[in-house]
């Protein structure tokens, strides 16, 4: 089972982190690429998708560049991922490779779709600001929530 981003998704997350650190200032593609170690040739297409997704604003010209369209606290990680990767919900059966439901759901449908829903909910609740604050000393804003979730899993019902 895989849980990973494409290169484009990876670059989008890193570009958004760079923009959130710019304190509202505009950043050029070249500067984002240098700061976040992203190949400069791929970044313009990623930035266009982020603009189209309403996450980033762009301005042309010498003092132009990119900046977040709203505060990092108001940008869910799921929205960033889906602006690049598309809808994150699985549409094929994990056993059959096609749609579930020919004769009801497959044996693992409920378990896998509940896990998918939990993952998407987690990405929906985590914000760009959470990712950036994680880089600060003692700045893991999701640590208490993760600890609660792990305790719930470890404790018998």
Q: pLDDT, tens digit, for every residue of 15-71?
A: 999 999 998 789 999 999 999 999 999 999 999 999 999 999 999 888 889 999 999
Residues, the chain: 157
Its pTM stands at 0.76
Contact criterion met (CB below 8 Å) for 38 and 32: yes
d(CA 84, CA 145): 27
* Domain positions in the chain: 7-87
Q: What pLDDT, on the 0 to 100 scale, is given for residue 37?
A: 94
150 vs 40, residue with greater confidence: 40
Q: What percent of the chain has pLDDT over 70?
A: 71
Asked if pLDDT for residue 157 goes beyond 50, the answer is no
**Which pLDDT band, with edges at 50, 70 and 90, does 119 fall under?**
confident
Architecture of domain 7-87: Orthogonal Bundle (1.10)
Q: Over the chain, what is the mean pLDDT?
A: 81
What does R_g of the chain's alpha carbons equal in angstroms? Answer: 18
For residues 89 and 116, the answer to whether their CB atoms sit within 8 Å is yes
């Amino acid at each position: 089972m895989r849980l990973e981003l494409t290169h484009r998704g990876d670059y989008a997350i890193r570009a958004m982190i760079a923009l959130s650190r710019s304190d509202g200032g505009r950043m050029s593609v070249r500067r984002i690429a240098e700061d976040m170690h992203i190949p400069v040739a791929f970044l313009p297409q990623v930035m266009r998708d982020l603009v189209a997704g309403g996450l980033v604003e762009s301005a042309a010209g010498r003092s132009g560049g990119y900046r977040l369209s709203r505060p990092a606290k108001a940008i869910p990680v799921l929205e960033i991922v889906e602006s690049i990767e598309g809808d994150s919900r699985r549409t094929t059966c994990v056993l059959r490779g096609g749609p579930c439901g020919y004769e009801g759901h497959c044996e693992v449908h409920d378990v896998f779709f509940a896990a998918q829903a939990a993952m998407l909910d987690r990405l929906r609740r985590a914000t760009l600001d959470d990712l950036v604050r994680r880089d600060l000393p003692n700045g893991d804003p999701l640590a208490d929530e993760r600890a609660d979730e792990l305790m719930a899993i470890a404790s018998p019902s």
